[in-house]
Amino acid sequence: MKDIAKKSNTEYLLNKYHLKASKKFGQNFLIDLNTIKKIVEKTPIDNQTCVIEIGPGIGALTEQLAQKAGKVICFEIDTRLKDVLDESLSEYHNVDIIFQDFLTVDLKKIVEECGYQKVCIVANLPYYITSDIIEYIIVSQAPLYSIHAMVQKEVAQKLTDENYTSPLTLMIKSVGNISLDMNISKNVFEPVPHVDSAIISIYLQNQYNPLLTQILKKSFTQKRKTIYNNLKELFNENTNDILLKCDIDIKKRPEQLTVNDYLKLTKYL
């Protein structure tokens, strides 16, 4: 089908297959072709790129990605969408759809074996697991070029705010740069969600250091306590010494440390 995102086409497909958007799977389908075209235009995708899409839904974004990319590999959790996707994307022979929870996918293996040097992730993410998915992608150490994700506007603002620090923002900073590319009105979705959305892009430059997860988990156990108190359990009587060697003030709170501070600390694990 051409232009799946047109309201009439989306309605036709949902009616034909008796589909109701599932709340459980965070389904809000994009129903504005121009918005989808703008999103795809802003990505660095060409015919030498493999795109991994998380949650194709009924294929509205997938269709536009397939027109630009060499290959599109989609992971969709909702098996009810199989028949509709078979129809909506039947003309696109460069699209593979795998019905699997993305959070169980061996992403590194998929990326390394897809046959493309340049691999980007593009997704209109289900809101209920946005952070889990971004963390999963980063921690996977998959050699990706970039990630382009639609998330709640508030989440996008937090993730890109220089003054906001969380374990996830530190993980992102450790691998590359994040930016907020464009805001998206809630009115271009069906059903209409409660809040507006935004697209964030992360361009990856460094491989993820898996020890960072351990350090961050311990450091943010109690956000209001000092870094010394949080790390005491991990480094015992050496805590003071290690913080000193890393040039970190023991009285600082976990959100006051930089990503480089945390990377220095991983050397003492």
For ligand SAM, what does the binding mask look like between residues 76 and 115, x meaning CB under 6 A? xxx----------------------xxx------------
In degrees rounded to 5, what are phi and psi of residue 180?
-95, 115
Contacts of 117 (CB under 8 A, 6+ apart): 48
Query: Could you tell me the smallest distance in angstroms from the CB atom of residue 250 to ligand SAM?
Result: 40
Task: Quote the Cα angle for 145-160-43, to 5°.
Answer: 35
Residue of 39, 45, 61, 155 interacting with ligand SAM (CB under 6 A): 61
Nearest-angstrom CA–CA distance, 176 and 212: 14
User: What is the separation of C-alpha 66 from the centre of its chain, rounded to a whole number of angstroms?
Assistant: 19
Beta pairing class for 71-76 and 146-152 = unpaired
Query: Could you tell me the smallest distance in angstroms from the CB atom of residue 88 to ligand SAM?
Result: 11
Nearest-angstrom CA–CA distance, 109 and 244: 40
Query: Could you tell me the smallest distance in angstroms from the CB atom of residue 31 to ligand SAM?
Result: 8
Residue of 9, 13, 19, 27 interacting with ligand SAM (CB under 6 A): 27
54 makes contact with ligand SAM (CB under 6 A): yes
Residue of 52, 95, 126, 202 interacting with ligand SAM (CB under 6 A): 126
List of residues contacting ligand SAM (CB under 6 A): 25-30, 54-57, 60-61, 75-78, 101-103, 124, 126, 129
